[in-house]
Chains A and B, each alone.
Chain A
């Protein structure tokens, strides 16, 4: 034994320990180290990997548990927390030719994807809507003319914009590499909900998700809050763009200014002269101006829904004061045919800046619409003439408030851990939120470092939303989705018409909201339709999932595909129950019994069990027997498609049942 060498080794080792302690100590202030206690909680690496994938992705792909174990759970999660993996597959599936809007800015979108009212105005301007054609609005000739006009001008319908938005979400969730980023995009979009149902904001929803939400989902909460506050979609959705005050010098001066008064009179004259072009729009603009004032919608929701929470300790006075602080927060005019655009073009940017106007991208702070007087918000005094900076400070104050830390931590824990997260876990996360000044990564790391996240009781406790359910089916089967909108239609039927949730609360995040009789039936039907190839534009190769080995029996198919689709789950009970049904020596008899027991509707294939009302066997009427013959004899209804070994239909039916099963609804 060489003591000297041992001693040297010890020294080096100690040095490394000290050094790593130093590095670690340094890291502690920035971000806690990942230290996931799954072993302590009695989970194997595989189980832990499956749980991570269940909660931090839109579903486990075949073989993915092993991939994660091989690369290390920590490494996988850190990669996801960075969200910087290349996304070739997504890019390939979203070609520019079909998805031009995905890279367009607001101004281009607004001038291309017109809303219904704008299209009609364009038609009127082009004399398509003269007095003769008004009566013929529904006629095909008129529609054709309108279509021609739109083609010539390059205008498109808003539905086309919405299609691109909807499809890209489905594609990113199903095929994206940065799953956690996408999951959080879904989470934060829902938290800061805006909706396609509101005409004034629908044109901006695509860029809202792309520019305000997605880049900020793993960053700082204040950045996220400010990005949403200043985006046209939110400014329009919760009306802050039309919340204004005349309590400022500019407005007062303008009132006094003789020239301005004269200009106003002239505008009024034009508006009243219906022979002048644009008189109508001007009229509406002037009428709208008259009724303008403070609108508290956004101020209320930013506190109740976005930051403090309804019990976060604010009063109606705080709501009003926040609304006043955010007066003048609006968007710059972008529609080329709109009246605001001409005013903007006439204005001198230097003069505007001098007067306190601020333009950042499409956001515009209008000093002449801002309430300049002093305010008190949550006990803090904001002196007069705070301008644009005042609103920013208010947001910062809300973003870092202890109530916000608790509210956001509760929501995150509800999404990722359980519908009823423990107080201890929420407090730990809230502490991390406050200490890191709202660093979302830090809060998430604190969450996965907690025992509660790995508690066996929490495993599979969350029920997938319809969107998560549909995407997880696509991922579990490596399905090739060529018509994503078909999946959207199914999500609607299952109760989640995403991007169209009308209320600013967003979809509630709990099983009892998603699971009711109608939506559950649709989940089962989705499973069957999906796996048996009945959803247009969805291609499956189920045999490939099992290396093109054909299962020997229906029972074998059940066992094999349960393991592929639901890795690391105890499926014994399910398999036992179903086996009794699929492994049946009297298959033919069962089938004829099944035929007896069911009312078949050949026209559309819809059917229902009526077991309870059936005539006992042996007492069938002739009509019933004939009916049975008809059904069994039908060419498109071969008896052999039901659970017969070596039949590909068997595999798809079994897969459909697994996808529609309760176990697959859980994550």
Chain B
């Protein structure tokens, strides 16, 4: 009799024996501990995009039907109309900014959910603090060592690949601080032994390093060294360089576009990634944020084009991937004296995936009347960000451990994922 685990173990070995002619050290180690993720292909992947600087949720997904909005934002107000380039009505109450037009089909097909009035219960309006709280997942404690996504990776408990959590950033984001191995890499092509302009020496150096790390008495250096060389073999750099997106998807040549393209590459290489992180900047629109055109419109366009290209490219993988966006807070309900908006409280976020109950703007927003605004100026937080993060992590990754994911939180997940 071959038991299931033994079968799975031999399955993994066979997979790698066929593809690589050897079993990578980290696969072997994880197989020994029984923690390997199998079948190795087609695991679930959560892609998180952090919009740093605080996106103006009231313009991205505008509650245009609220009469107060026009009064609060005399020159920033936009309404849906028949003319081209105007807001796109979603449900008679909210409308998408025209630069997010690419999201409209997702919404119509029911694979994109929008959550509005979302934010942190901590009323800080400092970018730093708000990002810190959102990424650690503990809105009232700064000393939480780890990030919520790192804890999610730990709860998934799969070892066997150095790529299980990858951030396409130059340094590790707060969301991925913690004890579970996470990789921050700006450019996947750098994942190799490199010596510019001297490939022969590079090859010898690479083999020398492999020899040296193979024999060191330091356990951690020995183990990680082996895993590094296996990971290099696993990541085919030429495949990355010559990567062709599926379905003719074209990524914008922007930081977010490039990050999502590399995330797609990793997903298709089946390297066992379960959490991916990317970020997008420039949302702090204090001055001249514009309407149909302008700073915010440009940013929204890049944002939606990048995500749309990614989704198109995911093709056969769409069932396994969910994308969730987040931003640290929203912006003032009223416009300021310089054609922009200042730091506020609640904003909105987007969740895209085939296991999302989409086509709906989830919200508990009352009205924009002054007495309903927080401190008389901001869209109040009526949905705790943790109820969304938890719902997505539980629904998509099947984690179901809010105590560890969001310590100290007593709330419930929002029902935006299919059961």
**Assembly CA distance A528 to B195 (angstroms):** 7
User: Would you give the shortest CB distance from A611 to chain B, in whole angstroms?
Assistant: 7
Judging by beta carbons under 8 Å apart, are B211 and A577 in contact?
Answer: yes
Contacting residue for B20 out of A502, A529, A612, CB 8 A? A612
Given contacts A518-B185, A520-B228, A521-B193, contact A637 B200 (CB under 8 A): yes
Judging by beta carbons under 8 Å apart, are B174 and A573 in contact?
Answer: no
Q: List residues of chain B with CB within 8 A of the CB of A608.
A: 192-193, 232-233, 235-238
Judging by beta carbons under 8 Å apart, are A532 and B195 in contact?
Answer: yes
- Stretch from A14-22, A193-201, A253-261 forming part of the interface with B: A193-201
Interface set, chain B 222-238, CB cutoff 8 A to A: 222, 224-225, 227-229, 231-233, 235-238
Q: List residues of chain B with CB within 8 A of the CB of A511.
A: 218, 220
User: Would you give the shortest CB distance from A308 to chain B, in whole angstroms?
Assistant: 12
Judging by beta carbons under 8 Å apart, are A574 and B232 in contact?
Answer: no
User: Would you give the shortest CB distance from A158 to chain B, in whole angstroms?
Assistant: 14
Interface set, chain A 438-466, CB cutoff 8 A to B: 460-461, 463
In this assembly, does A643 line the interface, its C-beta being within 8 Å of a C-beta of chain B? yes
Judging by beta carbons under 8 Å apart, are A521 and B232 in contact?
Answer: yes
In this assembly, does A351 line the interface, its C-beta being within 8 Å of a C-beta of chain B? no
Judging by beta carbons under 8 Å apart, are B205 and A528 in contact?
Answer: yes
In this assembly, does A305 line the interface, its C-beta being within 8 Å of a C-beta of chain B? yes
In this assembly, does A660 line the interface, its C-beta being within 8 Å of a C-beta of chain B? yes
Q: Mark A513-529, 1 if CB is under 8 A from B, else 0.
A: 00111101110110011
Q: List residues of chain B with CB within 8 A of the CB of A492.
A: 170-171
Q: List residues of chain B with CB within 8 A of the CB of A600.
A: 199
Judging by beta carbons under 8 Å apart, are B200 and A495 in contact?
Answer: no
Q: List residues of chain A with CB within 8 A of the CB of B189.
A: 604, 606
In this assembly, does A371 line the interface, its C-beta being within 8 Å of a C-beta of chain B? no
In this assembly, does A104 line the interface, its C-beta being within 8 Å of a C-beta of chain B? no
**Assembly CA distance A336 to B203 (angstroms):** 59
In this assembly, does B290 line the interface, its C-beta being within 8 Å of a C-beta of chain A? yes
In this assembly, does A631 line the interface, its C-beta being within 8 Å of a C-beta of chain B? yes
In this assembly, does A245 line the interface, its C-beta being within 8 Å of a C-beta of chain B? no
**Assembly CA distance A663 to B225 (angstroms):** 12
Contacting residue for A134 out of B200, B236, B339, CB 8 A? B339
In this assembly, does B77 line the interface, its C-beta being within 8 Å of a C-beta of chain A? no
Q: List residues of chain B with CB within 8 A of the CB of A300.
A: 141-143
In this assembly, does B33 line the interface, its C-beta being within 8 Å of a C-beta of chain A? no
Given contacts A297-B142, A492-B171, A594-B204, contact A581 B211 (CB under 8 A): yes
Given contacts A137-B295, A504-B142, A653-B205, contact A129 B197 (CB under 8 A): no
Judging by beta carbons under 8 Å apart, are A524 and B209 in contact?
Answer: yes
Nearest to A657 among chain B residues (CB) is: B208
Residues of B within 8 Å of A, CB-based: how many? 82
Q: List residues of chain A with CB within 8 A of the CB of B244.
A: none
Residues of A within 8 Å of B, CB-based: how many? 94
Q: List residues of chain B with CB within 8 A of the CB of A124.
A: 338
Q: List residues of chain A with CB within 8 A of the CB of B193.
A: 521, 524-525, 528, 607-609
Q: List residues of chain A with CB within 8 A of the CB of B241.
A: 601
Judging by beta carbons under 8 Å apart, are B213 and A662 in contact?
Answer: yes
User: Would you give the shortest CB distance from B142 to chain A, in whole angstroms?
Assistant: 6
Contacting residue for B181 out of A129, A516, A578, A604, CB 8 A? A516
Nearest to B293 among chain A residues (CB) is: A135
Judging by beta carbons under 8 Å apart, are A595 and B231 in contact?
Answer: no
Interface set, chain B 166-212, CB cutoff 8 A to A: 170-172, 174, 177, 179, 181-185, 189-209, 211-212
In this assembly, does B215 line the interface, its C-beta being within 8 Å of a C-beta of chain A? yes
Given contacts A503-B177, A511-B220, A663-B216, contact A529 B162 (CB under 8 A): no
Judging by beta carbons under 8 Å apart, are B211 and A493 in contact?
Answer: no
Judging by beta carbons under 8 Å apart, are B162 and A137 in contact?
Answer: no
Judging by beta carbons under 8 Å apart, are B197 and A611 in contact?
Answer: no
Nearest to B185 among chain A residues (CB) is: A518
Interface set, chain A 265-306, CB cutoff 8 A to B: 274, 280, 287, 290-291, 297, 300-301, 304-305
Q: Mark A588-614, 1 if CB is under 8 A from B, else 0.
A: 000100110111110011111111110
In this assembly, does A120 line the interface, its C-beta being within 8 Å of a C-beta of chain B? yes
In this assembly, does A636 line the interface, its C-beta being within 8 Å of a C-beta of chain B? yes
User: Would you give the shortest CB distance from B167 to chain A, in whole angstroms?
Assistant: 10
Judging by beta carbons under 8 Å apart, are B184 and A518 in contact?
Answer: yes
Judging by beta carbons under 8 Å apart, are A637 and B209 in contact?
Answer: no
In this assembly, does A345 line the interface, its C-beta being within 8 Å of a C-beta of chain B? no
Q: List residues of chain B with CB within 8 A of the CB of A653.
A: 195, 201, 204-205
Interface set, chain A 640-654, CB cutoff 8 A to B: 641-643, 649, 653
Contacting residue for B212 out of A120, A642, A657, CB 8 A? A657
Judging by beta carbons under 8 Å apart, are B221 and A662 in contact?
Answer: yes
- Stretch from B7-15, B121-129, B320-328, B347-355 forming part of the interface with A: B121-129
A-B contact pairs, 15 of them (CB 8 A): A238-B142, A460-B218, A500-B171, A503-B142, A515-B221, A525-B190, A534-B195, A577-B211, A591-B200, A599-B238, A607-B194, A641-B198, A642-B201, A653-B205, A665-B218
15 more contacts with CB within 8 A, not counting A287-B377, A534-B196, are A131-B339, A135-B290, A135-B294, A200-B126, A463-B221, A518-B184, A525-B193, A525-B194, A574-B215, A605-B195, A605-B197, A608-B192, A609-B206, A637-B200, A642-B200
A-B interface, 8 closest residue pairs, ranked by CB to CB distance from nearest: A612-B21, A662-B216, A605-B196, A517-B162, A134-B288, A594-B203, A662-B221, A198-B128
